[in-house]
Amino acid sequence: MNRINKKLQEDKKLLSIYFTAGFPQLNSTVSIIESLENSGVDMIEIGLPFSDPLADGPTIQESSTKALENGMTTEILFDQLKDIRKNVKIPLIIMGYFNPMMQYGIENFCKKCKEIGIDGLIIPDLPVKEYSENYKVIFEKYDLINIFLITPQTSQERIYFIDKISRGFVYMVSSASVTGSQNTFGTVQKEYFERIAAMNLKTPQIVGFGISNSATFKQATDKTKGAIIGSAFIKHLNQNGIAKINEFVTSIID
């Protein structure tokens, strides 16, 4: 069984952390992953940096630019991750934009992910239809779970469709925004969380965008399986360094 599916069966609210590979230093990747796992994080999204991350807010944009300046490439990331499964047991997901993956070659990219022990991919600009028609077969050949997004604007019909074709979890974007733009959740989001909960989807939902602390983590996971933190973690990493990762994680899930 894929590590993501196994993790989703655990009887707890899951905390997933996103970080941009190559930031703050080119070679931070492995130590960040190990610190996150040791701090009790359930799942990690490794961001493959892109020059034009159009679904991301300023924090992740800046970390991506810095990572590219540091020299991060797809090849280097794969090389850094080659022995990651010797120690790390939790699910690892690569999150990135489609163009760098295309240039690597989709089949090669998936094959490499499988060799390393990557469990899934989140590709914001690979639409559901393109995936289903052209790439699903390849992803499944290498046992990679493709994670789809839904937003408050996604129609009910489309949510049921995405639920049907999802194999891991549904990435529930908390609000109509790019990453990092919210600090609290208001009534609109609560209604959205309730509306989705009432749909009784077969696929567990994990909320992302706008989760930054213990309060928003609790709100986001009240009716869902878990939550993802990206921008807030990158800010913390930038200010406090890898040595203080445990402090950040503890402040969320204590």
Partner 1 sequence: MSYFVDENGYYGKFGGAFIPEMLYPNVEELRVNYLKIMESDSFQKEFKSLLKDYVGRPTPLYFAKRLSDKYNTKIYLKREDLCHTGAHKVNNTIGQILMAKRLGKKRIIAETGAGQHGVATATVCALMGMECIVYMGEIDIARQAPNVARMKMLGATVIPALSGSKTLKDATNEAIRDWINNPVDTHYIIGSVVGPHPYPDMVARFQSIISEEIKKQLTEKEGKENPDYVIACVGGGSNAAGAFYHYLAEENVGLIAVEAAGLGIDSGESAATSVLGNEGIIHGSKTLLMQTKDGQITEPYSISAGLDYPGVGPLHAHLSESKRAEFISVTDDEAMKAGIELCEFEGIIPAIESSHALAVFNTKKFKKTDVVVLNLSGRGDKDLNTYINYFKL
Interface positions with partner 1 (CB under 8 A)? 50-55, 57-58, 61-62, 65, 68, 73-75, 97-104, 124-128, 130, 148-151, 153-155, 158, 173, 176-178, 181
CB of 129 to partner 1, least distance (A): 9
Which pair of tokens denotes residue 85? Answer: 């499964």
**Residues 213, 184 contacting (CB under 8 angstroms):** no
CB of 6 to partner 1, least distance (A): 26
Q: In angstroms, rounded to a whole number, what is the distance separating the alpha carbons of residues 55 and 64?
A: 12
- CA-based torsion, 199, 200, 201, 206: positive or negative: positive
* The one catalytic residue among 37, 56, 119, 163: 56
Partnered with residue 121 across adjacent β-strands are 94, 146
CB nearer to partner 1: pick between 19 and 78: 78
Is-catalytic flag, 254? no
Is-catalytic flag, 56? yes
CB nearer to partner 1: pick between 49 and 245: 49
Residue at token pair 């810095």: 66
* The one catalytic residue among 37, 42, 45, 163: 45
Helix (H) or strand (E) holding 226: strand 226-229
Which pair of tokens denotes residue 82? Answer: 């080659």
CB of 1 to partner 1, least distance (A): 27
Q: Taking the CA of residue 209 as centre, how many other CA atoms within 13 Å lie in the half-sphere pointing to its CB?
A: 20
Q: Give the 3-state secondary structure of residue 9.
A: coil
CB of 237 to partner 1, least distance (A): 20
CB nearer to partner 1: pick between 88 and 159: 159
Which pair of tokens denotes residue 176? Answer: 């109509």
CB of 156 to partner 1, least distance (A): 12
CB nearer to partner 1: pick between 35 and 174: 174
CB nearer to partner 1: pick between 171 and 193: 171
Which residue type is seen at 148?
F
> What number of H helices and E strands is found in the chain?
13, 9
Query: How many CB atoms are located within 10 Å of the residue 138 CB?
Result: 15
Q: In angstroms, rounded to a whole number, what is the distance separating the alpha carbons of residues 63 and 85?
A: 25
Q: Which residues are catalytically annotated? A: 45, 56
